[in-house]
Structure 1
């Protein structure tokens, strides 16, 4: 098995196990068993578990942000694009196996002991905040609205991760609609 295939299998297994069970409860032997990549090969690819966690979060970040952008890009009206973020959250929260935000979960588990994981979680959240700020700017709305929408989305993520279901996205979407309407009225 070449390095690229072994790396992809290891990351697929890590994502499923880390996201589904939590990072601290999953050992490298669990990754070996789920991926079919030998333990020796795993440690050649990822000399420390933290490096596997970092690679998992980096890969998931790219896919998460691309999925969000693809969904939002289906809309042309600037205000609809802002609200599309919350529609996308609803879809994500409704996915089978949804366990909340991987970066919130990871920073909660490892943030105090892994500066790299904490930095990745912060970078992911900063990128999401900047993305929302860009949508708000494109809609000609005040910049402060981006931060408010970010807090609504993040609160929905935490709530959905704890309670399950899509209700948190629906509530956040209604609150976002009210904020947008208030700003449009001036």
Structure 2
């Protein structure tokens, strides 16, 4: 690509400063909610889209914690979820009896998240909270069922655009943008 990535963006929805402010707010809420918990929470990032959010989030949480990654795929190189997510990389840590905070870049249809929650339940977690950077409820096809005393944390409610940046991609590109932007349609059609 000879032109800058910024020229591929139709508009910016959230700036880097807005993102970092919101991440700090979420981290403060998680710290408050889990400071009296008997065991530290386990943060599970959904690779690869949530890696920047996960890193920024755990740096701000003022608690002992563990981190692991899981990879679930439902997009491939398209702009719409295929509705049939699969887990292609499983956890390294044992989650049995643990409180898991599942860190996701965006909740769209809910299919991937539901698949991951079922997967964690089968492994014997005591509870699952969701921490989604973006929530796109207008596209939801599956009701998100929390486990145990889990909570739902979200950064921003996202309008029905195809967004990239801050870890989110199209065909593995644009993850390195420090903001969330709407990708111009000519770059994904």
TM over 0.5: no
User: Hey, which of these two has a bigger chunk of strand by percent?
Assistant: 2
Normalising to structure 1: TM-score of the pair? 0.28
Structure with bigger RCO (C-alpha 8 Å, 6+ apart): 2
User: Hey, which of these two has a bigger chunk of helix by percent?
Assistant: 1
